[in-house]
Amino acid sequence: QKEVEQNSGPLSVPEGAIASLNCTYSDRGSQSFFWYRQYSGKSPELIMFIYSNGDKEDGRFTAQLNKASQYVSLLIRDSQPSDSATYLCAPGGYQKVTFGIGTKLQVIP
């Protein structure tokens, strides 16, 4: 089992809809998670991190962490075409960090 699993997509949603991106992980010791956004041809940029069970909201983005079920998700409300990118999740860690393969999101105008 891979450390971090993501559906590679593409996930297509209409503009204005909610996009739901999911990530499961195998290491029960993981305490925090990050969501990075990567536009085509660009480097990943951090958009959210979460280290507590439950939800964390930041503008149109909500990260959800469920340690018992070992999944973390990212919800994007009112999706915009500019949100079209690949979203990578990764456990926070002091040393080696394994990124998920990333989910490609396409927001259709």
Partner 1 sequence: GAGVSQSPSNKVTEKGKDVELRCDPISGHTALYWYRQSLGQGLEFLIYFQGNSAPDKSGLPSDRFSAERTGGSVSTLTIQRTQQEDSAVYLCASRHPGGKSYEQYFGPGTRLTVT
Q: Which residues of 68-78 are buried (b: 16+ CB within 10 A; e: fewer)?
A: eeebbbbbbee
Q: What residues pair up with 6 in beta bridges, in sequence order?
A: 23
Could you write out the three-class secondary structure of 36-70? EEECCCCCCEEEEEECCCEEEEECCEEEEEECCCC
Tokens, residue 38: 């990567």
- Please select the residue that binds partner 1; options are 1, 69, 82, 95, rule is CB under 8 A: 95
Q: Which DSSP symbol is given to 95?
A: S
99 touches partner 1 (CB under 8 A) = yes
Confirm or reject binding of residue 93 to partner 1 (CB under 8 A): yes
Q: Considering the rule CB under 8 A, would residue 82 count as an interface residue with partner 1?
A: no
Nearer to partner 1, 32 or 106 (CB): 32
Contact range with partner 1 by CB under 8 A, out of 15-23, 61-69, 71-79, 85-93? 85-93
CB nearer to partner 1: pick between 2 and 77: 2
Using CB under 8 A, list all residues that contact partner 1. Answer: 32, 34, 42-46, 49, 51, 88, 92-102
